[in-house]
Structure 1
Amino acid sequence: MSSILVERKENIGKITLNRPEVLNALDPNSIDQLDKALVELSKDENIRCIILTGAGRGFCVGIDLKYMKGYLDKGQKFPYGEFLRKYFNRIITRITTAPKPIIASINGVVAGAGLGLALSCDYKLASEKVNFVEAFLNVGLIPDSASCFFVLKKMGLTRALEYFTLGETIDAKRAFELGLINKVVPEEKLEEETNEIARKYASLPTRAIALTKKLIYYSLNNDLENVLEYEAYMQEIAGSTEDHLEALKAFIEKRKPVFKGK
């Protein structure tokens, strides 16, 4: 059975973490499969939006403890730094730099590196039954996989310190209130709501979305002068896309534009 399932329906791609027996904890093999799926869907010109979700009761709980146990059984220290650089860091970067919008459809528990995986997505909606578990502190570790980066940006310093240094668990409603996720929906409505948002994204000018993602992340760590210059540079690129020309033509012809993601 494949650890990662990939589906294509019309212009929407869907990736399902398929290790429900371990709440979709990930090992090197499954991370490599996930990376391959992200690359393939990102390159597929027919795909305009990507959904990331989990099978069973979990979205993702980070590193597979069974894989870690293999090191401990041999009396070896688990190579956390090497593992993160080689695997999870690669996935987080792959998602944030993807040229397509990526939706996290959070179906179940989120913990450990799974938090960074979820928060790195562009749009996040969760079942009302989901819990976000700060698992790192409770096992003597620090937040990784960009968890601290995203939580700090969304919650602010005071709430981020509280969440990470007390090892808290928050439910979906509280996560929404704190700005961690975009939407909370009833469990039975999650797939329907996810598909509706995906269809919306898939109808928009995809290249403009990709450029906007780049601009937003650039703006996080640059001053106003640099951001203004980068905007001018990126707008020049956006202005040469087929979708922009279609929008201008549609305006003149008094109709809705039909974007092709080009």
Structure 2
Amino acid sequence: MSGFESIRTRREGDVLVVTLNRPERLNAAPPAMFDEIRDAISSLDGARAVLIAGEGRAFCSGADLASNALAPGADPGQATYEALTKHYSPGMLAVAELDVPVVSAVRGAAAGIGCSLALAADFTVASETAYFLQAFVNIGLVPDGGASWMLPRLIGRARAAEMMMLGERVPAAKAFDWGMVHKVVADDVLDAEALELAQRLAAGPTRALGAMRRNLHAALDGSYVDALQREADAQRDMRGTEDSAEGGLAFLEKRKPAFKGR
């Protein structure tokens, strides 16, 4: 894939790798970067998992609104609102609504909108150098990118308040202790570990994994009764898939299933 200015994409087998590619700015994200992320994942072209990473020594140091200079007399508050509603939020929603598993590989800073993007993955793999930061309080703003929805559900209200209201770094080890990330690995093996996990997911029954993903998101707001019904609906749909038939046959034949995502 080509034609992107602030990201880079490549295929690793059945995994689509999306790399934030502004290392000279610690991958600070202009609004257009999230348009490009949305475009890159809008057509998976057969990819069965997505891996999001950052080039260089940071995952993403946050939004880079400075890259879009305000017109004379423009209202900065309105400009920020439009950047969020027209660019950043649609990009975050595109990641959330994917029907395939998502892995993020985080080294260095995952700050602001970069923190939200990293944690939007189903599995966040962090290097020992990684840290997560919501520093908006230091400039009199509020967390965005869905952080105020995401963080309490990941780590609880008290820890979310600590991150958001104190604006202090959460290093990788603490993030793991809090249940914010899946795994912490040495910096030099981060890319390989994250790709291996993404490839493992891509080799799985990806239609079922997509249904699990949707059910997990919906369960955060719905009732127990709603969850039971969604599970029943998903099981009905998955029972008709080729992967389900293959899984059952492999179980009976005592072999590893060969899932195709169909």
TM-score normalized by the length of structure 1? 0.93
Shift of residue 198, structure 1, vs aligned partner:
1.5
CA distance in 1, matches of 2:16, 2:119: 19
CA distance in 2, matches of 1:59, 1:211: 28
Match in the other structure for 1:181: 181
Gap regions ≥5 residues in structure 2? none
| 2:20 aligned residue (13, 17, 22) | 17
2:28 partner SS: coil
| 1:4 aligned residue (3, 7, 11) | 7
CA distance in 2, matches of 1:161, 1:9: 38
CA distance in 2, matches of 1:130, 1:253: 43
Contact 2:15 2:198 in 1 (8 A): yes
TM-score normalized by the length of structure 2? 0.93
CA distance in 1, matches of 2:66, 2:56: 19
Contact 1:109 1:130 in 2 (8 A): yes
Deviations 1:21-41 (A, max 9, x none): 111112233222211111122
Moved over 6 A (4+): none
* AA partner of residue 187 (structure 2): E
* AA partner of residue 57 (structure 1): R
Gap regions ≥5 residues in structure 1? none
Contact 1:24 1:54 in 2 (8 A): yes
CA distance in 1, matches of 2:75, 2:61: 21
Residue 150 (1) aligns with residue 150 (2): yes
1:184 partner SS: strand
2:248 partner SS: helix
1:100 partner SS: coil
Residue 29 (1) aligns with residue 27 (2): no
CA distance in 1, matches of 2:130, 2:152: 21
* AA partner of residue 117 (structure 2): L
Match in the other structure for 2:225: 225
Shift of residue 67, structure 1, vs aligned partner:
2.4
Structure 1 vs Structure 2 CA RMSD:
1.5
Deviations 1:124-176 (A, max 9, x none): 01110112122211111011101121111111111111221111111111111
Q: Percent same amino acid at aligned positions?
A: 36
Q: Which has the higher mean CA deviation after the structures are superposed, 224-233 or 117-126?
A: 224-233
Match in the other structure for 1:85: 85
Shift of residue 227, structure 1, vs aligned partner:
1.4
Shift of residue 81, structure 1, vs aligned partner:
1.9
Contact 1:135 1:167 in 2 (8 A): yes
